[in-house]
Amino acid sequence: MPHTLDPDLRRALAERVRYCHEMGIYDFYRREPRVSESVTVADVDALVVSSTSQELREEMPAKKSTVVAKVAEENIFEVLTPKPEHGVADPIAALKLIREDLGECTRCKLHKQGRKQIVFGVGNPRAELMFVGEGPGADEDAQGEPFVGRAGQLLNNMIKAMGIRREDVYIANVVKCRPPGNRTPERDETETCSPFLMRQIAVIKPKVVVALGAVAAKNLLAMNASMSELRGRFYDFMPTGARSSDPSWQGTKLAVTYHPAFLLRDPRQKGEAWKDLQMVMKYLGLEPAKKVDD
């Protein structure tokens, strides 16, 4: 006789699956148990409370596989429905749907720590080049647009030097709410917010993404390395857990350079950042802006 889960356990599993979906984990695999075992409260608690997103990517033990299999049979996985922008070809409309899905986000603690508004992203929805920073600062939080303060002015100059305009690119951040005191976003904050960034990248389908600074680079690439190790090369990048409306899109190239705020503190590194941008320009076929004589 089929086993019926207790309603409380069923809800707990549904919440866990919904959480995984928000984290960008969409695929779950069923494996037949080696022996016939019943589902216990302890089994479900172990799955709901102890499992991390990394553990859920790995092969699950027999008891946990049994739990997931039973839930699947009872249609708990209906929470894994496609995101609203899936199948929407127009990137403008798709980005609007993502923004609506984000709402007045309260998914992490940043919403209780002084943010004035969400800073979603700005620019050309069909941009070939996308810049990703760490998170909004005070000016960005006040205006609701990324990179509008001093670091933003330097970024504008960098973009202009590449022979294009700010309006030609798309700019976003790993987290969309200002961390208090402009501190580095914490792991739980980036893990909660980055799925929305991944969805933005999948909609825009840029040819190149430039990660501005170590925080953005490490979050996008899911690797811990120094800037000297991360810079100077392209990475093949496919946004984690996100799906593009174009099945032929095979991802983008990702480059790493210094954050403009760092360059303001250490202008000696501007030459190195320019080398990174020249690598991007060569790939995109861009010519540097011509200097106008006084």
How far from 167 is each of 128, 156, 256, CA to CA, in Å? 12, 10, 21
Number of domains in the chain: 2
The total number of residues written for the chain in this structure: 294
How far from 113 is each of 34, 46, 116, 147, 179, CA to CA, in Å? 48, 32, 9, 20, 7
Together in a domain, 163 and 103: yes
148: CATH: 3.40.470.10
Within a domain: 55: yes
Together in a domain, 233 and 203: yes
Closest CA to 169 of 186, 150, 146: 146
Within a domain: 1: no
Together in a domain, 37 and 124: no
Together in a domain, 125 and 248: yes
Closest CA to 67 of 95, 100, 93, 31: 31
Convert the pLDDT of each residue in 176-194 to its tens digit.
999 999 999 999 999 999 9
Convert the pLDDT of each residue in 138-157 to its tens digit.
999 999 999 999 999 999 99
The two beta strands, 252-257 and 208-212, are parallel
Together in a domain, 272 and 164: yes
Q: Where are the beta strands (DSSP E) in 18-152?
A: 122-123, 129-133
Within a domain: 256: yes
Query: Is pTM beyond 0.95 here?
Result: no
Task: Answer yes or no: is pLDDT of 250 > 60.
Answer: yes
Within a domain: 172: yes
User: Residue 229 belongs to what domain range?
Assistant: 91-284
Convert the pLDDT of each residue in 93-128 to its tens digit.
999 999 999 999 999 999 999 999 999 999 999 999
Within a domain: 260: yes
Q: How many other CB atoms are there within 10 angstroms of residue 206's CB atom?
A: 22
**What integer pLDDT is reported at residue 82 of this predicted model?**
78
3-state secondary structure of 259: coil
Contact 169, 159 (CB under 8 A): yes
Together in a domain, 128 and 262: yes
Within a domain: 203: yes
Contact 186, 228 (CB under 8 A): no
CB-based contacts of 228: which residues, under 8 Å, 6+ apart? none
pLDDT band at 241 (very low <50, low <70, confident <90, very high): confident
What is the distance between the alpha carbons of residues 140 and 148, in angstroms, rounded to a whole number?
A: 6
Q: Which residue type is seen at 164?
A: I
**What integer pLDDT is reported at residue 278 of this predicted model?**
98
Together in a domain, 45 and 166: no
Together in a domain, 110 and 68: no
What is the distance between the alpha carbons of residues 207 and 294, in angstroms, rounded to a whole number?
A: 35
Boundary (domain end) residue, out of 80, 110, 144: 80
Task: Answer yes or no: is pLDDT of 135 > 70.
Answer: yes
Together in a domain, 167 and 35: no
Together in a domain, 75 and 157: no
pLDDT band at 22 (very low <50, low <70, confident <90, very high): low
Within a domain: 292: no
Convert the pLDDT of each residue in 36-84 to its tens digit.
444 444 444 444 444 444 433 333 333 333 333 333 333 443 334 579 9
Place of tokens 């599993």: 13
Place of tokens 């943010």: 115
Together in a domain, 122 and 246: yes
**What integer pLDDT is reported at residue 16 of this predicted model?**
72
Place of tokens 């790995």: 58
**What integer pLDDT is reported at residue 4 of this predicted model?**
57
Contact 30, 69 (CB under 8 A): yes
Together in a domain, 143 and 221: yes
Within a domain: 162: yes
Boundary (domain end) residue, out of 30, 59, 80: 80
Structure tokens at 266: 């250490």
